[in-house]
Chains A and B, each alone.
Chain A
Amino acid sequence: MEVTFKDVSLSYDGTREILHHLNFTIPEGTLVSILGPSGCGKSTTLMLISGLLAPTKGQIFFGDQDVTKQDALARKVGMVFQNYALYPHLTVLENIMFPLKMAKVKKEERREKALKLAKLVHVDDQLDKKPGALSGGQQQRVAIARALAKEPSLLLLDEPLSNLDARLRIEMRQEIRRIQQETGVTTIFVTHDQDEALHISDHIMVLNLGDIQQFSSAETLYDNPSNLFVAKFIGEPVINTLPITAFGHDLDGAVPAAILAKTQTVGIRPEALQDHPIDTGTLAQITTQVKAFEKYGREKNALVDYNGNELLSTEIQGRLENHQDLTLYLQKSGFYLFDEAGQRIFGGEQDVE
């Protein structure tokens, strides 16, 4: 099911607006992540899609149909909540069967379907337990099975993996991806973990303070961040940022003067700082002092000081001594300039979204 938001705003109390004029389309059959820091409005956005909340302003469409006025009962989506929200008085099997019972599915069929789903999420050995007797991960999987039970055309997941251990989390996210691809169900996956979003989704919507920062593929987010927030939020290790004033005349000639004049902040990805020049990609060079040099296996990192700013480089080839001078070559890919409002005005591909 294609989901479209047209100028949707939301305020819980009528005074403070939580979401501001959201406009987006989630294409049918894709898996989209909503990524953003805590409190930015991710859960609220999901509640709007599910119909549990009505927008203060704007319209919501499923396909061509305006569902703004429909409640959750009518929209028929599947949803996994941040804290599972399993029915504590029902067993695992009964929990999974609950939506089927509501849909008046026959008893034997209900059971059969629920068993199949329990197997899919690996809780088929826990069927008679109550949720209170399950681990966090098991509860989460039961919640996923319950959400899938009525074969929804839209599956909403609110940080479904946040309580799993690292190994299970990776396993489950592949599992979710597999289920999504097998069933073709349009899936919206909320997370504050960029790694999770990058691995699982076709498209990522980055949200901050109730505004969409960027909505694109993982690759585009990384290569062409549309603003400083996205550049800082996506990427591990985090992008180096420093004020343009630190550069003095180092960028003269490399960047048009008109753009330099508007620039406030410079962002350089750690892999775009190299200790060796490359003919095609090098934009400029800077002189720095090594503060710390680290070598982990194949990887060599250097923490350097550049006119009072700390920069991290992950592209060191030579051996370095602390306090030595080091010339670093800025690579064009991974070098961005942002204006006063934080918008990208240089670097990456121009005019991307």
Chain B
Amino acid sequence: MKVKVAMVLRYVILVLGAIIMLMPFLWMVSTSLKTQPETVKIPPIWIPKQLQWANYVEAFKAAPFARYFLNSVLVTTITTAGQLFTSILAAFAFSRLNFYGKNIIFVIFLGTMMVPGEMLIIPNFVTLSKFHMIDTYWALIVPWLASFFTVFTLKQNFQSVPDQLYYAAKIDGASDWHFLWHVLVPISKSTITAVTVLQVIGSWNAFMWPLIVTNTENLRTLPVGLQAFTTDAGTNYALLMAASTFVILPMVILYIFLQKYIIAGISKTGLKG
């Protein structure tokens, strides 16, 4: 009996947690299908009288979303691939190679994880402006080509692979390079998938940085493009939510398909995203 009560209680808590997590998404979708007056009605309504599918069409036409979409895809792909590449190399060096000053460098890098991202905006902006990269694709990409969080996560994972496997590869005639890409990386598939997805989501959703370093309409990414619905006259919530829905849709789909890897990868390293 006692066991059953505990079980019911556990599920009640889990369901409540899930509802709380899902609430903003449901609200977003609900709002995106309302008429303008319905969005500000008090008390709030959850299900609109008539579903306003037209909001989506109107929202898509309100700004050059096709172009934004292209920019987002481009920036996300390049930053993720670049960051993964540099992080894999760095993680290999920190976990397998011996070089002078390795531990000190690692501690310094670890220290950078303590610095909040917002603090880096100004120095990064100054640096990039010196290189004349502001308001170009470079500004959107270059600062994100390295991430110590990813390096750290991968290093932890690489270290859990037994030394003997590395030795065996050496004996079998594999170079470090070959061992890294043909043994270590395939073995660490789940962790790599997890950090990739986290990076893709982070990059896709980035708002502050793209907003600051771009002025040109043609360089805007999707999240920045959502500003189009906020004007001096106020915010059109229905259209904003409709646009938000199609902006995050690719991430939701990605997450659903890869959640198995993400959870496995994150629980393996004992790190949270």
Chain A contacts to B: CB under 8 angstroms: 47, 50, 52, 71-73, 76-79, 81-83, 85-89, 98-99, 102-103, 146-147, 150
Other-chain residue from A47, A83, A89, A102 in contact with B173 (beta carbon distance below 8 A): A102
**B168 (CB) vs chain A CBs: closest residue:** A85
- Mask, B159-203, CB within 8 Å of A = 1, is 000101101111111110010000100110100000000000000
Separation of A32 and B165 alpha carbons in the complex (Å):
25
**B187 (CB) vs chain A CBs: closest residue:** A89
Residue among A47, A79, A147 with the highest chain B CB neighbour number at 10 A:
A79
Separation of A39 and B177 alpha carbons in the complex (Å):
32
Other-chain residue from B164, B178, B187, B189 in contact with A85 (beta carbon distance below 8 A): B164
Q: Chain A residues with Cβ under 8 A from B189's Cβ?
A: 89
Other-chain residue from B164, B171, B186, B187 in contact with A77 (beta carbon distance below 8 A): B171
Other-chain residue from A81, A86, A88, A150 in contact with B167 (beta carbon distance below 8 A): A81
Other-chain residue from B162, B164, B173, B178 in contact with A103 (beta carbon distance below 8 A): B173
Q: How far is the CB of B96 from chain A (nearest CB, A)?
A: 13
Q: Chain A residues with Cβ under 8 A from B167's Cβ?
A: 47, 50, 52, 72, 79, 81, 85
Separation of A89 and B175 alpha carbons in the complex (Å):
18
Residue among B169, B178, B189 with the highest chain A CB neighbour number at 10 A:
B169
Q: Chain B residues with Cβ under 8 A from A147's Cβ?
A: 171
Q: How far is the CB of A252 from chain B (nearest CB, A)?
A: 57
Cross-chain contact B162 with A85 (CB below 8 angstroms): yes
Main secondary structure of the interface of B (DSSP, over half): helix
Cross-chain contact B164 with A146 (CB below 8 angstroms): no
Cross-chain contact B164 with A71 (CB below 8 angstroms): no
Cross-chain contact A79 with B168 (CB below 8 angstroms): yes
Separation of A310 and B88 alpha carbons in the complex (Å):
63
Separation of A88 and B182 alpha carbons in the complex (Å):
11
Q: How far is the CB of B198 from chain A (nearest CB, A)?
A: 23
Q: Chain B residues with Cβ under 8 A from A87's Cβ?
A: 165, 168-169, 183, 187
Contacts A/B (CB < 8 Å), 25 sampled:
A47-B167, A52-B170, A52-B171, A72-B171, A73-B170, A77-B171, A78-B171, A81-B167, A82-B164, A85-B164, A85-B167, A85-B168, A86-B168, A87-B169, A87-B183, A88-B187, A89-B183, A89-B189, A98-B172, A99-B173, A102-B174, A102-B178, A147-B171, A150-B172, A150-B173
Pick the 5 closest A-B CB pairs, nearest first: A102-B173, A85-B168, A99-B172, A85-B164, A72-B170
Separation of A77 and B168 alpha carbons in the complex (Å):
11
Separation of A189 and B246 alpha carbons in the complex (Å):
64
Q: How far is the CB of B171 from chain A (nearest CB, A)?
A: 5
Separation of A78 and B187 alpha carbons in the complex (Å):
23
When A83-B162, A102-B178 are in contact, do A50 and B186 touch as well, CB less than 8 Å? no
Cross-chain contact A146 with B172 (CB below 8 angstroms): yes
Q: Chain B residues with Cβ under 8 A from A88's Cβ?
A: 187
When A81-B167, A82-B164, A83-B162 are in contact, do A102 and B186 touch as well, CB less than 8 Å? no
Q: How far is the CB of B167 from chain A (nearest CB, A)?
A: 5
The residues in B between 119 and 175 inclusive whose CB is less than 8 angstroms from any CB of A are 162, 164-165, 167-175
Q: Chain B residues with Cβ under 8 A from A72's Cβ?
A: 167, 170-171
Q: Chain B residues with Cβ under 8 A from A99's Cβ?
A: 171-173
Separation of A303 and B229 alpha carbons in the complex (Å):
98
Further pairs besides A52-B167, A86-B168, A88-B187: 8, Cβ < 8 Å: A72-B170, A79-B168, A81-B167, A99-B171, A99-B172, A99-B173, A147-B171, A150-B173
Q: Chain B residues with Cβ under 8 A from A89's Cβ?
A: 183, 186-187, 189
**A72 (CB) vs chain B CBs: closest residue:** B170
Cross-chain contact A83 with B164 (CB below 8 angstroms): yes
Separation of A87 and B171 alpha carbons in the complex (Å):
13
Q: How far is the CB of B174 from chain A (nearest CB, A)?
A: 5
Q: Chain A residues with Cβ under 8 A from B169's Cβ?
A: 87
Cross-chain contact B170 with A102 (CB below 8 angstroms): no
Q: How far is the CB of B175 from chain A (nearest CB, A)?
A: 7
Q: Chain B residues with Cβ under 8 A from A86's Cβ?
A: 168
Q: How far is the CB of A127 from chain B (nearest CB, A)?
A: 18
Other-chain residue from B162, B173, B183, B187 in contact with A73 (beta carbon distance below 8 A): B173
Separation of A8 and B183 alpha carbons in the complex (Å):
33
Q: How far is the CB of A86 from chain B (nearest CB, A)?
A: 8
Separation of A82 and B165 alpha carbons in the complex (Å):
11
Q: Chain B residues with Cβ under 8 A from A50's Cβ?
A: 167, 171
Separation of A146 and B170 alpha carbons in the complex (Å):
13
Separation of A71 and B171 alpha carbons in the complex (Å):
9
